[in-house]
Structure 1
Amino acid sequence: MIKMNCRMKFPTIRDRKMSYGVNFILLFGLVLLSFFAQAKEIPKKTRFLVNDYAHVLSDAERRALEQKLVAYDDTTSTQIAVVIEKSTEGDDIFDYAIRLAEKWGIGQEGKDNGVLIYIATEDRKLRILTGYGAEPTLTDAMAKRIIERILIPAIRKGNYYEGLDKATTKIIQLTAGEFSADDEGGGIEPILIFALILLLFFLFVYLASKGNGGKGGGYYR
């Protein structure tokens, strides 16, 4: 009887690491492909600053807003664009708006001073994106107030043109340095006011306890 001396070969640690690496790369590639496959396609850039793909503006309203923004673009270095679509089709509105702004090249090249007002009507979402070059005069806090105090109230009533007209006027005034954020009224956020009141209250309690026996016990005379 002949005995066969067989040695089974097991994968080494190095082989396993290589296998894990290959699997990770394949998985990452599939995730990346699925991401780009599902991402909403950016529409081709037009020669207009106002692009209403959702048809919520009349022709006269779109032309009036276009003339206003073109005139501002011609006299300054800051460009304001308005894009209205029905939906981002599942894409995050911030990510999609950034991709759109970058593909269209809103603002002057090298200055990154464009401002994009993006509205998705069926998603009931909107964003104001500001390039780094325009941020000193139009901060994120200012953009948020324009959205909350001007755009949303008007859009809820179906007055898209009214909201966009007032919002772009406010943006033009801010970027031109005609007034500061405090001119809008309510320059300090409510949460900051509440925090300040709370801080003063605890400071008062602390000072009262220091003047009346320090730690332990209650207040007495």
Structure 2
Amino acid sequence: MIFFSLISSIAALLLLSPALGAPPSNALIDETGIFRDQVRIKTEKYLAFIHQQHGIDYRVVILKPQKDRDLASLANRLYNDSGVGRDTAGRGLVLVLDLENRAARVEVGYALEPHLTDAKASEMLRNHLAPYFATGNLRSAAEASIEFLVNEFKGKRDQLVHGPNYQGSGGAGAHQQLSEIPESTLTQETKEKLKRVLVPQPSPELALKLEFAMMHRGYYYRDIPLYDPDWKNQRVPEFPPDRVKEMAKMIDQPFQTRTAGDHAIAYHPNHQNLGPIFFRKTGQGWIVDRTSVQKYIIYDFSNDGWYLLAAAGDPYAELLRSVYQLESVRLSSGRAALRPKQPL
């Protein structure tokens, strides 16, 4: 689900971008075997994408279990010994994930230090990688870090420093301890942890993926920054953890998004039984606007379909019109049935 806005352009960019040399064959080193088959291929394509479009040599390393390792020294050594950034004028990054000790380190090359400061690197780990790790989704954690970089460097390729000679890393970067949220135990401590890790995201796709990750863990907690502020006050039934996990499996299906300004919707082209989802952009990033979904969209069991209640000028209604046919229905006075356009 992540990178829907990028996937269609990857092939073209790889062909049209100025020659940087082929992306390294060892951009993803997985000593644990978590990244398998198509997931590995997809992740390597994302790393190649950021290499070609942004001229950044980004490597991801998942370490095999080992107690009490010095992650900072190891990441620095991996960076320098592997020649990261050698063919990208020193613009290199290494993300090292240490699952045994629940820690992550991002090592930043000299040429990127003015643009990806220690504070920015820390933000990447804290707000865009740690939440997925906390909900047990390591693959999405790595993908989220890539999307953060794509958004951070979008349109800035010519502004990035081109060092005259290759330089390695002097130890700049950030370290983050990664705590895992226990499954299905909604204690006060867990609630506070959910509030810390389930935060606004740089894209609607990531926001929805993070909500799914929370639900796969057995939670549906409404008082988190990922949701619009009014959602915690809505009267929504509480479900047991097993039911939340069942719901997550049902709704976590391939989706597409449509964005207009500070509003966006997600829809499921191949699953018409799943209704649209709304998003709103705030100063901190994209949030899931569940209150507006509840306000404007209903499912009518008697007519077996989704219906729009929004006014004609509502920004969500305009987005819905770009995806659905809005058909008036006699049995549902004042409602417009959402019928997917063909093709979506």
Identify the residue that residue 164 of structure 1 maps to in structure 2: 142
Q: Paired residues, what number?
A: 138
Identify the residue that residue 61 of structure 1 maps to in structure 2: 39
Pick aligned residue for 2:93 from 105, 109, 115:
115
Secondary structure at 2:111 match in 1? coil
* 1:77 and 2:58 aligned: no
Pick aligned residue for 1:48 from 23, 26, 31:
26
Range moving further from structure 2, 156-165 or 109-118:
109-118
1:71 aligned partner, one-letter code? F
In 1: Cα distance, 2:124 partner to 2:91 partner: 18
In 2: Cα distance, 1:135 partner to 1:141 partner: 10
TM-score (norm 1): 0.56
> Structure 1 pair 117/141, CA: closer, same or farther in 2 (3 Å)?
same
In 1: Cα distance, 2:125 partner to 2:66 partner: 18
Identify the residue that residue 289 of structure 2 maps to in structure 1: none
Identify the residue that residue 96 of structure 1 maps to in structure 2: 74
- Please give the root-mean-square deviation of Cα atoms over the aligned residues, in Å: 2.4
2:104 aligned partner, one-letter code? L
1:48 aligned partner, one-letter code? N
In 1: Cα distance, 2:71 partner to 2:62 partner: 12
Q: Is the 8 A contact 1:134 1:175 kept in 2?
A: no
1:150 aligned partner, one-letter code? H
In 1: Cα distance, 2:146 partner to 2:49 partner: 12
Identify the residue that residue 148 of structure 1 maps to in structure 2: 126
Q: Which runs of 5+ in 1 are unaligned?
A: 1-45, 188-221
Identify the residue that residue 162 of structure 2 maps to in structure 1: none
Trace 1:130-149 onto structure 2 (pairs within 5 A): 130-149=108-127
Identify the residue that residue 105 of structure 1 maps to in structure 2: 83
Secondary structure at 1:133 match in 2? helix
| Structure with greater proportional strand content | 2
Secondary structure at 1:123 match in 2? coil
User: 1:164: how far off?
Assistant: 1.1
* Residues 123-163 of structure 1: CA deviation (Å, up to 9, x unaligned): 11111111111122211111111111121110122211111
Q: Is the 8 A contact 2:95 2:107 kept in 1?
A: yes
* Residues 59-84 of structure 1: CA deviation (Å, up to 9, x unaligned): 22211010111122123321111000
Q: Which runs of 5+ in 2 are unaligned?
A: 1-23, 157-200, 203-282, 286-344
User: 1:86: how far off?
Assistant: 2.4
* Residues 5-32 of structure 1: CA deviation (Å, up to 9, x unaligned): xxxxxxxxxxxxxxxxxxxxxxxxxxxx
User: 1:88: how far off?
Assistant: 5.4
In 1: Cα distance, 2:47 partner to 2:25 partner: 12
> Structure 1 pair 136/86, CA: closer, same or farther in 2 (3 Å)?
same
Q: Is the 8 A contact 2:67 2:100 kept in 1?
A: no
Q: Is the 8 A contact 1:151 1:167 kept in 2?
A: yes
User: 1:186: how far off?
Assistant: 5.5
Which consecutive segments of 4 or more residues in structure 1 shift more than 6 A? none
Q: Is the 8 A contact 1:79 1:115 kept in 2?
A: yes
Q: Is the 8 A contact 1:54 1:121 kept in 2?
A: no
> Structure 1 pair 55/160, CA: closer, same or farther in 2 (3 Å)?
same
Q: Is the 8 A contact 2:97 2:104 kept in 1?
A: yes
In 2: Cα distance, 1:79 partner to 1:176 partner: 15
